[in-house]
Amino acid sequence: MYTENGRHLNVKLEQLKRYRRQNADRPLTTDAGLKIANNRWSLRAGERGPLLFQDFHFYKKQSHFSRERIPEKVVHARGFGVHGIFECTKAMGSVTKAHFLQEAGRTTPVFVRFSNFIGSKGSKDTAQDVRGFATKFYTQEGNYDNLALNFAVFIMQDAMKFVDFTHAVKPNPVTDVPQATAAHDHIWDYVANNQESAHFIMWLMSLRGRPRSWRMMEGYAVNTFRFVNAEGKSTFVRFVWKPKLGVHGLLLDEANIIGGVDPDFHRHDLIEAIERGAYPQYDFGVQLIPEKDEFKYDFDLLDATKLWPEEIIPVQIIGKLTLNRLVDNFFAEEEQSSFDPSNLVPGIAVSNDPVLQGRLFAYRDTDYHRLGTGNIEEIPINRPIVETNYNQRDSYSRYRIDADPVNYHANSLAGNTPGEVPAQEGGYGHYPAKVKGEVKRERPSSSFADHFSQARLFWNSMSPAEKDDLVKTFIFHLGKVKSKSVREQNAAMFANVDRQFAEKIAAGIGVSPPQGSRVQTTESSPILSMGSTTYSPHTQKVGILMGSGFNDEEVQAVLETLEQSRVFFEVISEKLGTVTGANGMQIEVNETCLTAYPVLYDSLYVVGGTVDNQGQFDLDVMDFVHSAYKFFKPIGIASTGQQYLPSFGNLAGVISAGKSTNFPRDFVQAVGQQRFWGRVLVGDKALVRP
């Protein structure tokens, strides 16, 4: 299965195995190895007497527990990590000498961490937020960390502003609320007074700010890097991850409700997919611009608030990522994982992107503080699969026992080892980029000054349904802002993007219509619309509402078709146990109407049937149906469930067994479509994707 570096993958797996199941069939001991006779009761003076200070076992046990928590990440605190395999699918030796990209079929073990930016570690998965998509490649040349977001653009043009943006978006420092949301005064005050944020905020307020699943979101490394080949030739590059399942989002009310009924929604989704063997997969793509074409475009390549339109600079797919293994221990692997954009390999270099330049310092410095040690790379999850030789010493969590008395460079006593490796022999050599100019603080370039053309491009690219959702999301978040001045500033600002867009926002948040006019951008980028993404029933989740007395043959056909189409489903009834069909077929119940919620399912199959408390069951089923209809989801109505057929609106996406000639097929096709925007009309036009 593996190419030459399969051996290195095995090395990594063996390293990890040493930290698994070490307590199985072993005696209980202290961390110093002392076997413990009693781990249940404290040492006390008499049956009802006081505890004794000499109980060193209690002290060690309790004091270790008191120190088990480490500082959470300032941003991206809420995360979840999984293991996987990256396979190069296109040899890239012509543009980069990075070893893991030299040969099609070459595989590299990876660790991927998904995360939310705003909230604390204990916040919800479904917040309106930007997501992190960080990938650690354990390559034969050392670790390479690719840090991406699910947005193609960032909120600032210079890393100097990162502290200010983070302070603005985080909870109020006086009250510590609100948590995990951009619906408050400070973030919108920042946006209005730092208008380079316009493009990013439109991404944040869009459906992309509420991904249906980590398995269904893109990842963009937002910054501009360089590929450098063996001849030293440089090519500008941006990296992108494209999910095989397409890019899909939650509606605003869906996300808010799910955040309450299942704050771990994305975690549960990823765990379920991997445990069922439906391993998430992503294509790894690059956009390449030759060094000579740096100034060819109407945007600056080094501006992190600008994307590279794929219609102009196509994405070349060069690899495939498969996530196939959960962590064995969340703290040891996920919480102690560290990602650093300065973890590079020969063939990948940085550009003068001002945001990237700041990140090169900030990430490692943050983790020195958070993890409390200079020995970050000795923590097993961060440890490279190749040998490491260096002269740094000591600090907390030093696991390697350094026996070398010579710990400096250069030296003669140890033959000047460990020794440097020339770039032509595999050492990392920095690209000799030319620089010119005066040392001063100013905007990176006048070409960074256009804040609205690409924001307009994003608006032009969206379908009517996406535009409608964007307007509602802006109104929801700005509607929480108490300062009328801040609301007015934002409405005026987005008139630069689209006058009608801004007027709708202004009307919804109670401020005067803006007087500005939009930038003169008519282009669109269809790839930015979710209407152009992949649609499939694969791993969509169906809730099956049923009691006893159902049509055995019909239900059996639907279940078989769902399984063949690799659709996930759960049976929901009045109580756990089994339900029985008219001809004796028995089906296990997975959830009850009390423990399941309609927002947790992508579509419904309403079978109906008899239960003990029929009246309550009927009310619960109709609640599910109303919710699914409201959120434009597919609804399949069995022959025994016709009484639950919606009697309101149009029935787009409502598939009835009484009218369909091939109900199982038609229902699965509807599941694959995922949303039926035609249920709602704006003016005289249905909301449909392009």
Residue the block writes with tokens 């008499």? 46
Longest dimension (CA), the chain: 89
Task: Give CA–CA dist 359/76, Å, rounded.
Answer: 14
Whether residues 196 and 275 fall in one domain: yes
Please tell me the pTM assigned to this model: 0.92
Task: Give CA–CA dist 91/119, Å, rounded.
Answer: 40
Whether residues 84 and 63 fall in one domain: no
Structural domain includes residue 25? no
Q: How far is CA 440 from CA 418, 443, 454, in A?
A: 39, 10, 28
Whether residues 468 and 594 fall in one domain: no
Structural domain includes residue 561? yes
Which structure tokens are listed for 524?
């669109």
Instruction: Tell me which DSSP letter residue 50 carries.
Output: P
The predicted pLDDT at position 21 comes to 60
In angstroms, how far is CA 258 from the centroid of its own chain?
17
Whether residues 637 and 670 fall in one domain: yes
Structural domain includes residue 406? no
- Residue ending a domain, among 492, 510, 531, is 531
**The total number of structural domains that make up the chain:** 4
The predicted pLDDT at position 36 comes to 85
Nearest C-alpha neighbor of 152 from the set 384, 362, 373, 307: 307
- Residue ending a domain, among 24, 46, 68, is 68
Residue 550's domain comprises: 535-686
Whether residues 149 and 185 fall in one domain: yes
Report the first-to-last Cα separation within the chain, whole angstroms: 41
Structural domain includes residue 539? yes
Q: Which H or E run includes 319?
A: strand 316-326
Structural domain includes residue 87? yes
Whether residues 279 and 324 fall in one domain: yes
Whether residues 51 and 167 fall in one domain: no
Structural domain includes residue 520? yes
The predicted pLDDT at position 42 comes to 87
Structural domain includes residue 426? no
Whether residues 501 and 647 fall in one domain: no
Which structure tokens are listed for 558?
């639907």
DSSP helix/strand/coil, 52: coil
Whether residues 378 and 247 fall in one domain: yes
- Residue ending a domain, among 509, 531, 553, is 531
Whether residues 227 and 260 fall in one domain: yes
Whether residues 573 and 527 fall in one domain: no
The predicted pLDDT at position 556 comes to 98
Whether residues 526 and 539 fall in one domain: no
Task: Give CA–CA dist 258/67, Å, rounded.
Answer: 33
Instruction: Tell me which DSSP letter residue 249 carries.
Output: B
Output the CA torsion sign for 288, 293, 295, 297: negative
User: What are the strands, taking DSSP E only, across 46-117?
Assistant: 78-88, 107-116
Is residue 636 within 8 Å of residue 662, measured between CB atoms?
A: no
Structural domain includes residue 424? no
Whichever domain contains 553, its CATH number is 3.40.50.880
Question: What is the mean pLDDT for each group of 10 consecutive residues in the chain (690 residues)?
Answer: 46 53 75 83 86 83 81 93 98 98 98 97 96 97 96 95 94 94 97 97 98 98 97 97 98 97 98 98 98 95 97 98 97 95 94 92 90 91 90 85 86 86 88 84 84 97 95 98 98 96 97 88 94 96 98 97 98 98 98 97 98 97 96 96 87 91 96 91 46
Q: How far is CA 427 from CA 90, 97, 371, in A?
A: 24, 12, 28
Task: Give CA–CA dist 550/114, Å, rounded.
Answer: 42
Task: Give CA–CA dist 501/492, Å, rounded.
Answer: 11
Whichever domain contains 489, its CATH number is 1.20.1370.20
Task: Give CA–CA dist 110/621, Å, rounded.
Answer: 43
Whichever domain contains 199, its CATH number is 2.40.180.10
